[in-house]
Amino acid sequence: MRRVVFNQKGGVGKSSIACNLAAVSASQGYRTLLVDLDSQANSTHYLTGLTGDEIPMGIAEFFKLSLTSGPFAKKGRVDIYETPFDNLHVITATAELADLQPKLESKHKINKLRKLLDELAEDYDRIYLDTPPALNFYTVSALIAADRVLIPFDCDSFSRQALYGLLREIEELKEDHNEGLQVEGIVVNQFQPRATLPQQLLNELIAEGLPVLPVNLMSSVRMRESHQACMPLIYLDARHKLTQQFVELHDLLEAAD
């Protein structure tokens, strides 16, 4: 299973959701890989604690090598970083991804990631992909390589308008490049059940028939503490309500596969 967590809108908790679902997966015994495709490298830092020059080249090195050619060009599999957590590995991201993007686009390397994940599928039960908050080369590569796409959503009117366009773009990409891609659903993040507007927007999305998942992720300072500690919630505080919501979401998605 290859799941990409994607929304073009920033600040919706994309990296937090990808990392915490991957961590729950690993804690349940699945050999799990997270691929960080965002040059901001938030997922990389969250799961490894590394910053700056400490971070291995990871996916940037893989893409850089894909640009080489000739009989002596260096090819091969990507370096994978073992996190401190059992069964959880990361292909790290670095800022160099931003510089590589126009070169990769001009060389039409859009299927390289899918071929890499085809190889890695023999070693991992679950692969999660964290993407930039834009429909760029790396995001399209991830959507082509994935089986499932999970869409984080925060309850405000701007996010709602962007959501319709996002669903159309995913459908177009599915038709052109990846017929097997399935939208698993929309997961509401940083939900405030006592506030009127979030509940109203949620009810309207459901009434429109959009694939809103029945598990909402609450807003909690515990998530920021988790980021600070570089420790996903399942390891930081397994009994916390937000942690249990992640477990419930993970198990819901697993049951649907």
Q: Per residue in 62-118, pLDDT tens?
A: 999 999 865 444 555 689 999 999 999 999 999 999 999 999 999 999 999 999 999
Q: What is the pLDDT of residues 46-57, one digit of tens each?
A: 999 999 999 998
Exposure class string for 79-106: b at 16+ Cβ within 10 A, else e: ebbebebebbbbbbbbebbeebbeebee
Residue 232: per-residue pLDDT: 98
- Candidates 94, 92, 61; CA nearest to 77 is 61
Burial of 24 (0-12, 13-18, 19+ CB in 10 A): buried
**48-57, 150-159, 237-246: lowest mean pLDDT where?**
150-159
Percentage of the chain surpassing pLDDT 90? 80
pLDDT of residue 24: 98
- 60 pLDDT more than 70: yes
Question: For helices 14-27 and 241-256, what crossing angle results, to 10°?
Answer: 80
**Alpha-carbon span 115 to 131, nearest angstrom:** 18
Q: At residue 145, does pLDDT exceed 60?
A: yes
- Confidence (pLDDT) at 76: 55
Cα gap 222→155, rounded to integer Å: 20
Which positions ≥6 away from 119 have C-beta within 8 Å? 77
Residue 9 has pLDDT above 70, yes or no: yes
Residue 79 DSSP symbol: P
% of the chain exceeding 70 in pLDDT: 96
Average pLDDT over residues 223-245: 98
Residue with the larger pLDDT of the pair 257 and 219: 219
SS3 164: helix
- Alpha carbons 145 and 165: distance in angstroms, whole number: 21
Residue with the larger pLDDT of the pair 226 and 203: 226
Position 157 scores a pLDDT of 66
pLDDT of residue 240 exceeding 60, the answer is yes
Which of 20-34, 45-59, 148-162, 207-221 shows the lowest mean pLDDT across its residues?
A: 148-162
Does pLDDT of 249 surpass 60?
yes
pLDDT at residue 12, rounded to an integer: 84
CA gyration radius, the chain: 18
Whether 59 and 92 have beta carbons less than 8 Å apart is answered as yes
- DSSP secondary structure string for all residues of 17-37: HHHHHHHHHHHTT--EEEEE-
Alpha-carbon distances of 23 from 17, 175, 254, rounded to whole Å: 10, 32, 14
- The CATH architecture one would assign to domain 2-256 is 3-Layer(aba) Sandwich (3.40)
The domain locations on the chain are 2-256
CB 129 within 8 A of CB 1: no
Residue 248 has pLDDT above 80, yes or no: yes
Q: Quote the pLDDT of residue 71.
A: 45
pLDDT at position 73? 45
Cα distances (Å, whole numbers) of residue 39 to 101, 102, 194, 238: 10, 14, 36, 30
pLDDT of residue 229: 98
With residues binned 3-state (H G I as helix, E B as strand, rest as coil), the percentages for the chain, rounded to 5, are 50, 15, 40
Q: What is the pLDDT of residue 29?
A: 98
Q: What is the mean pLDDT of the chain?
A: 92
